[in-house]
Amino acid sequence: MNTAVTIAGVTFQNPVMTGSGTFGSGMEYSEFVDLNRLGAVVTKGVANVPWPGNPTPRVAEVYGGMLNAIGLQNPGIDVFIERDLAFLKQFDTKVIVNVCGKSVEDYLEVVERLADTDIAMMEINVSCPNVKEGAIAFGQKADALFDITSRIKKAAKQPVMMKLSPNVTDITEMAKAAEAGGADAISLINTLTGMKIDIRRRSFALANKTGGMSGPAIFPLAVRMVYQVYEAVSIPIVGMGGVSTAEDVLELMLAGATAVGIDAIGLLESQLVDFCDCTLAVTAPQELRVKRIMARDSITEEYARSRIAAQKDADYFRAQCDYEFVNDLPTAEKAEHAAEVYINTIINNLKEETER
C-alpha cells in the first residue's frame, strides 16, 4: 500500500514529520528515533545570524502541556549548512528548513543561502516579531503576511510553506493572505501565547513572562483551525499542535491536513513509533519486511512470512468493513487517502493481536 503524500510537488514517503523547534535539527534525537522512518525532518528555526535566545528560565510545565520561551536560539545559517544539513544528508528522508528573522531582509538572506542546497522545502516562521512594525508578529497582520510571503516566494528556489500563528482573531484571513502571496503550502498551528505565575515565589515562571503553550491541551484548537483553513484555501496543509497519538494524526488528516507534524516526545511514545513503522512496513519490499519482523520479534523466517500472509488477508477484510469511517469527508480523493492511513493503524492493531 502506498502511504506517500505529495505537497507542492514534493513526495514524502509517509505523512509523519517532526514539528519545528521540538526535534532540534535531527542530530539531537537520531540515537532515539530512526530518521529514515519519517516523512520529513523539519528543523529548528534558522536565522541569518546566531540568536542567543531568551534568558532563563525558559520552560515551565502547565496543566495539559508546557510553556516555552526559548526565543528561537539557533547557531545561524552558516553553521546550520555546514553542520546540520551535512548530517541530515546521510538519511533517506526529506528535509524542511524552518526559517526565522526579525525583518523581511533577514528572512530573504536565509532563503537565498538555502537556494543552492538540496532541501525539499522551507517552512517560514511568521510568528517572529517584526522589529520594523512595532514587534508585532508577521503572522498577526494579513497585509504584513501577504508582503513577506510574496517577497520570499520571488526569491525562493524551493517550495514555500508558511507557518501560521494561532494568536489571531481569524485564522482563515491569515491563510488566505498567505495563499494570495503565493505560498505553496500552510502549516499550523504554532504555539498559543500563555503565562504562568509561581504563587509561592510571587514571580513569573518564565523570565520572558509569556511563552508559547504546546501539548495535548491545544490539540482540539489545532483540529478546529486546520478544518477552518482547509475550507478557506486550496493549498496543502501540514497540521500540528498537541499531537500525541496515532489517532491524533488521523484526526488532523480527517480535518484537512495532508501531513502532520509531531514533537519529539510524541515520536518517542511507542504508539507513534509503531505508526511510522507501520506506514513503512506496508510499502516496503517483501524481503525487507521479512527481515524487519524477524529482527524485531526474534522469530524464524518461515514464521515471519506466514505472519505477513495472514495479515494480508485480514487487512483486506477489515479495511472493507472500516472504509465507512471516512465516507462523509468533503472529497473522494481525501477520503481515499484518509482510508489508506486508517488502514495502516488497523494493520498495527492486527500485529499486536497476532503477537498476543
Residue type, 256: G
The whole-angstrom separation of Cα 275 and Cα 270 is 8
What is the rounded (10 degree) CA torsion for 99, 167, 266, 161?
-30
**Of 100, 128, 276, 278, which is the active-site residue?**
128
Q: Which three cell numbers stand for residue 227?
A: 478544518
Q: Are 233 and 85 in contact (CB under 8 A)?
A: no
- Reply yes or no: is the peptide bond before residue 199 cis, omega within 30 of 0: no
Sheet holding 59-62, edge to edge: 59-62, 65-68, 210-214, 192-195
The whole-angstrom separation of Cα 127 and Cα 138 is 6
Q: Are 196 and 206 in contact (CB under 8 A)?
A: yes
How many degrees, rounded to 5, is the angle at CA 131 between CA 222 and CA 188? Answer: 10
Between helix 332-355 and helix 246-255 the angle, nearest 10°, is 170
Per DSSP (E only), the strands in 100-155 are 121-125, 129-130, 136-137
Is 276 marked active-site?
no
Secondary structure class of 335 (helix, strand, coil) = helix
How many degrees, rounded to 5, is the angle at CA 220 between CA 217 and CA 223? Answer: 140
CB burial of 305-315 (b: ≥16 within 10 Å; e: otherwise) equals bebeeebeeeb
Q: Are 46 and 39 in contact (CB under 8 A)?
A: no
Active-site residues, by number, are: 128
